[in-house]
Structures are given as C-alpha cells and as structure tokens.
Structure 1
Amino acid sequence: MHYRCSIITRNLEVIKFFQSFDICDYKFDFYSFRLESAYNALLKTPPSILFVDLDHPDYRQSDWNSLVEVLNYMECQPVLVAISSTKSFAYQALKTGFQDYLLNPLYELDVRKSLVKSRKCLQMRTSRERDNVICLKSYSDYRFLNVEEILYLKADNNTTDLFLNGQKQVTAFKSLKYFEDTLSDDFLRIHNSYIINKRAVKRINYSKSLIFFDADLNGHSVPFSRKFRDQVDGLKKTLLTDEQVLFG
C-alpha cells in the first residue's frame, strides 16, 4: 500500500531532506506557498499523512484555527506530524491533534520512526472502521450498515428489527441471538426481546423499567426485564463514570 504524504513548509532544507529521502510506499508532495493555497490543494487531494512546519510564518501569526477548520472538512482526516526548530509549540500541537512532533534539523531515523507510527495509526483506523460495519443480506440484496447508527435491536420471531438514528428501521433475517454473538461489547442484552447500543443511552428509569435514547421521559424508550437487572446496573455504573446519563 502506498501512502501519500503532504508537507507544508517554506524551509528549503526540509524540502531537500524529503526530496532525498529514500523510502518505498511513501509519496511526498510539497506545499511551500501561502496556507490558503496549501489548504485548497489538500482538500482537492487529501493525504494519508500531513507534515506541518510550525515555523511557517503564517502559523506564527495565527492561532491554528485555519488548520483545524480545514481538517473538519476532510471526510478522512490525515495523521498529523509537526515539524519545528523549537519545542515551544509541542503542547499546542498535541492539543490540536498532532500524532508526532519532530525537531528540525530532521534526522532520518526520527522521520522513519514517525512514518512507522503514522502507518500503524492509519492501519488501526482502517481496522476500527471495518469492525464497525455489518452486512445485512436479504436474498440478492446486501446492505452495509455502520453499527454506530444502531440505537437498539428488537426480536421479531426469527427476524430482528434494527432501529437506527433518524427514526429509521431495518429488518434483518437473523435471530437476536445472532446479533448478540456478533456485535461488540458496546451492545447489551437487557430483555429477551431487546439489545441496546450502550453508547446511545441517555437515561435509565428504574421505576418504569425503561431505557431512553432521549433525556426526555416522553422520548424513545425500550423496556428492560428483571432477568437482566444486573446488566443494567453495570451499564448505570459505566455511564455514571462517563457522566453521560440522568436517572429517574
């Protein structure tokens, strides 16, 4: 697999370093002009890895909001690696989301280590995205669904109804037990007929034995049974730790 690397810098020594850098599977592009033009080029052809020279004069005059804004427009954000002649920007870089921080002058070993680290980050991201997708097959129809969209699943005889964000519903010709065994630990059985996405829960009401996906008690809810009370108690402890839920 080839990785596209873009480098924003006006430092000729940095450009010469990467031009002479001999490493397979990596292709380097250079943007030595103004940031506005560099960002426009990045949006046209997004890289896998983005090296940003923080000594670029435009960065010294801004608070980096322009970089963050451009990244938010990218459907798949690159791994960020900072380059600077000083450690002064290190904290701000890490806070902005940079994966690594290289001091200039650059050394081949440091850059190779950074590229390996960035590649592992990209591979983990790809694996995570693949794990988050399930395929629902119906005869000759294949539907690929991101599991993060699922609020809960409801058994309906030998089929299962999946209720999604945006009040959408999909029927799968699989049993609820199949999904219980297939889905990640983010999904929890709370009833003989229901599995919920723990990350989607907004409220647990013990007096009504209901779990809500909206903070409003009049909102969307599903029941939990006494048989699965221990699982619900465990969910409550987790959500209290994360400070994500209200209880009635």
Structure 2
Amino acid sequence: MTYKYIIIDGNSQSSMSLQTHVSTLGDFYFSGYVNNAAQGLNLILEESPDVVFLGTNLTDSNTESNFTLVNELYKYMVVLPKIIIISNTKEVAYEAMKYDVYDFLLKPFQRIDIIKTLLKFKKEKSFSSLLNQVNFSQAENSQPFLNNTKISNSIPLVEEKKHNFIENGIENEVTKVDFQFDTQEIKNELIDIVKQSLDSKPILVQPEQIIEQKNNILCVKSYGDYRFIEFDDIVYLKADNNSTDVMLSSGDSITAFKTLKYFESSLPNDFVRIHNSHIINIKYVSRIHLGNSDCYLNKGKIKLPFSKSYKDNINTIIELYASNDAKED
C-alpha cells in the first residue's frame, strides 16, 4: 500500500533532504511542497494526504500561528492526516503536543528517526486495515466490539484465509480475514474475539437518547483526556495564548487547547465576552462597576476587568438584570 505525504516548510533544502530519506522506504508518495501556511491548508484539502510534515519556519507566519493550521483543518475535515512537526529546536516539541500532532522530528534530520516514525505509522495503518477487513457470517451481530479490545502488536502479512469453528454444534465461518499473522497466538486472539461477538450483541445508546444532556455539556479535550462540564458549573473562561483556562465554581480550572474565539462562537447565550481575555457566565455576575471597568463574579469573590470594546456587552447584562427587577415590581 502506498501512502501520500506533503511537506509544508520554509526551507526548501531541508524539504529535499526529508524527501530523500522518506523515498528510501518505498511506500510513501510525495504529493507536494509549499513554504507557507495559507498554501499549506489548500494543499492538504486538495490532496488529502496521509501524512503532513509541518515546519515551524513558514514564510507567512510565526511558530505559534503555524499550529493554528491544525485547528483550521478541523473546520473542513472529519479525519485529519497525521501531522509530524519538523523544527530546528526541541523547545517547539512541547507546544506541538498541545495540538495532538502525531510526532516531532528535529533538524538536521537523522534517517533512523524518520524511519522509526514512518514504520510506526505503517504498523498502525496495517492493524487498522486488519480490523476493517474482518467480516462476520452473522452480519447482524457484527458490532464494533474490536475498538476497545487489546490485541498483540505483531505486524500482519497479507494472505487470504478463512477460519471455521464449531459452537454449540453449529459450524460458523469467519470469512475474508485477509491477513496471515506472525504468531499462532495472535491468530487465536482474533478468533476468540470473533466468537465472543457472536455470543452477545451489545446494547448501544442511540444519539437521540442523550441529545438533551449533550446540549447542557461542554466537552473539553486535553491530550487523550475528555472532560464533560455542565455549563452551569463554568464561572468564566480565560485566554492563555492558544489555549483557554475554564474556571469552575468549585475553584478548579481546566485547560482546553482551543482559542477563546472558538468558545465565543460555540457557547450558549449565557456566556458573554467582556474582554480580549475573558468570557463570563452571566449567571455568576454579582456586581458591575462602570467607573472602574470591573465585573464581579461568584458573589464578589472574583473581579475581572472589562474593556471599552466590549462595553455594549456589559450594558446588555445590566439591562437584562434591570428588566428582571422591573418585572418583579
């Protein structure tokens, strides 16, 4: 199988060096090179590569904005290509990990580092292909049970086979397991998993059953950790470069690797931006001091500044609560 890759990097010489190293593996097809983020986004959308080598010295952006290219891809793609960051300095590696990139390569390139990264990629692809190509004779029972099942890490070799087993006096056939395994142990593991799947049919929760709850929940992803937070528990959000700190009524904070602008467009109407660095939950507003440009939250325990550019939002909050008082009178 051939995998398509592109390079987005400000240095054409390092790009040629990278191509040379990758070409020795034989399974990777070079599909394009650009030196800036704008053209890089277009190239990814046009070519749909499997792997993107993304440099941090692009001609139209700085290191920080290079990584926002990754966030841009989520607007247009369901499944992103594997992003491999390439840089002259190790300091960029930590920042890159915030964006869930696949790997990091340091310049000047060491051939063995490139080989390790791409062999790891091929191994994952091969294993994924194995799971996708296992078909069951009892189609109504073929639920996605394999996703959470641990199977050994041997790399499969292509070879069409059929496996038969007898269960409760009935012969069953697992068709088109188009792989030969490196060890008998791995083969037995997969057959056991198939047998278990035919014995029980999982009860799956339908999306419409949880939509009401989902509408009141904010999902915050940090690396592989997903936090589900009720909107009513959020006091305010604070910008921190390209990440956002979500401040909770309990006093805890959670870091989300999304910009404040992202949350501004996705949160419900109870959340209002009052500053370049702050979005507040108006349910927690306890005082607004126009003279000092201060907004107090959570019974006065928190004081945040508001800026002139968001003064209209402050006035809207005041009018909202003032109108409630008028109705009560």
Relative to the length of structure 1, the TM-score reads 0.53
Q: 1:216 to 1:110 in 2, by over 3 A?
A: closer
Q: CA deviation at 1:65?
A: 2.5
Distance (whole Å) between structure 2 residues aligned to residue 146 and residue 65 of structure 1 = 36
Q: 1:88 to 1:129 in 2, by over 3 A?
A: farther
Distance (whole Å) between structure 2 residues aligned to residue 74 and residue 68 of structure 1 = 10
Gaps of 5+ in 2: 146-193, 214-225, 229-329
1:85 aligned to which of 88, 94, 105: 88
Does structure 2 conserve the Cα–Cα contact (< 8 Å) formed by 1:81 and 1:101? yes
Where does residue 210 of structure 2 map in the other structure?
214
Distance (whole Å) between structure 1 residues aligned to residue 198 and residue 98 of structure 2 = 33
Q: 1:63 to 1:45 in 2, by over 3 A?
A: closer
Gaps of 5+ in 1: 138-142, 149-178, 189-195, 203-211, 218-241
Does structure 2 conserve the Cα–Cα contact (< 8 Å) formed by 1:46 and 1:78? yes
Q: CA deviation at 1:88?
A: 1.4
Moved over 3 A (4+): 124-131, 133-137, 145-148, 212-217
Q: CA deviation at 1:102?
A: 0.7
Where does residue 182 of structure 1 map in the other structure?
197
Distance (whole Å) between structure 1 residues aligned to residue 79 and residue 144 of structure 2 = 18
Distance (whole Å) between structure 2 residues aligned to residue 74 and residue 130 of structure 1 = 24
Question: Relative contact order, CA 8 A, sep 6+: which one is greater?
Answer: 1
Q: 1:146 to 1:63 in 2, by over 3 A?
A: farther
Where does residue 35 of structure 2 map in the other structure?
33
Residue aligned with 2:118, SS: helix
Distance (whole Å) between structure 1 residues aligned to residue 40 and residue 137 of structure 2 = 39
Distance (whole Å) between structure 2 residues aligned to residue 128 and residue 106 of structure 1 = 34
Alignment of 1:109 onto 2:98? no
Q: 1:216 to 1:5 in 2, by over 3 A?
A: closer
Q: Residue 118 of structure 1 aligns to which amino acid in structure 2? A: F
Distance (whole Å) between structure 1 residues aligned to residue 7 and residue 212 of structure 2 = 48
Q: CA deviation at 1:29?
A: 3.1
Where does residue 65 of structure 1 map in the other structure?
68
Q: CA deviation at 1:52?
A: 0.7
Distance (whole Å) between structure 2 residues aligned to residue 116 and residue 56 of structure 1 = 27
Alignment of 1:23 onto 2:38? no
Q: CA deviation at 1:121?
A: 2.6
Where does residue 7 of structure 1 map in the other structure?
7
Q: CA deviation at 1:28?
A: 1.8
Q: 1:51 to 1:63 in 2, by over 3 A?
A: closer
Does structure 1 conserve the Cα–Cα contact (< 8 Å) formed by 2:55 and 2:86? yes
Distance (whole Å) between structure 1 residues aligned to residue 90 and residue 130 of structure 2 = 33
Does structure 2 conserve the Cα–Cα contact (< 8 Å) formed by 1:8 and 1:31? yes
Q: CA deviation at 1:108?
A: 1.1
Superposed CA deviations along residues 108-128 of structure 1, whole A, max 9, x for unmatched, are: 111111110121232334445
Where does residue 102 of structure 2 map in the other structure?
99
Q: Residue 96 of structure 1 aligns to which amino acid in structure 2? A: Y
Does structure 1 conserve the Cα–Cα contact (< 8 Å) formed by 2:9 and 2:36? no
Distance (whole Å) between structure 2 residues aligned to residue 64 and residue 15 of structure 1 = 19
The range that moved more, 53-62 or 109-118, is: 53-62
1:47 aligned to which of 41, 46, 49: 49
Does structure 2 conserve the Cα–Cα contact (< 8 Å) formed by 1:8 and 1:53? yes
Does structure 1 conserve the Cα–Cα contact (< 8 Å) formed by 2:58 and 2:66? no
Distance (whole Å) between structure 2 residues aligned to residue 120 and residue 47 of structure 1 = 17
Report percent identity of matched pairs.
23
Relative to the length of structure 2, the TM-score reads 0.41
Q: CA deviation at 1:129?
A: 4.8
Superposed CA deviations along residues 29-71 of structure 1, whole A, max 9, x for unmatched, are: 3322331122112111111111111232414252722322214
Distance (whole Å) between structure 2 residues aligned to residue 134 and residue 37 of structure 1 = 44
